[in-house]
Amino acid sequence: MESGFLGLQLLGFCFASSGLEFLLYRLLAHISHSPPPCGGQIRPGVVWFGETLPEEAWNAAQQAAQNCDLLFSIGTSSVVWPAAQLPETAARNGAAVVQINPEPTTLDRSARFNLRGKAGDILPTLLEAL
């Protein structure tokens, strides 16, 4: 593996660890006409509809939701399961759940704070307040 490549290879795909990394590797592969450092196809590190969540990552997310004090749910419809249960799990275990979303969702009843608007507008304001 070359220095700087943070993804991993699985089933012939290179998984980028971020959207920016995914775009950079796509651009480099296009310019150089060569495969990415792992030798596979480039794919973002996301789970598409119909795919199974990686078990280790899902178990870690569930444990984090069960033990956190604060959970932010940002820009999601809160209807895609099983991920939609994470904020509910956190709330049931006493965490403060902050939802940032332009529209109401099913999470409204469980969230301690419902901040209406675009994440790109609300998050900078929250960060400035820190």
**pLDDT greater at residue 78 or residue 64:** 64
Task: Say if pTM beats, i.e. exceeds, 0.75.
Answer: no
The whole-number average pLDDT for the span 97-122 is: 94
The answer, yes or no, to whether residue 102 has pLDDT greater than 80, is: yes
pLDDT for 77:
85
pLDDT for 120:
92
pLDDT band with cut points at 50, 70 and 90 for residue 48? confident
The answer, yes or no, to whether residue 56 has pLDDT greater than 90, is: no
Residue whose token pair is 């480099």: 28
Residue whose token pair is 């604060």: 70
Q: Tokens for 6, please give them.
A: 């943070």
Q: What's the number of CA atoms in the CB half-sphere (13 Å) around residue 56?
A: 0
pLDDT for 119:
92
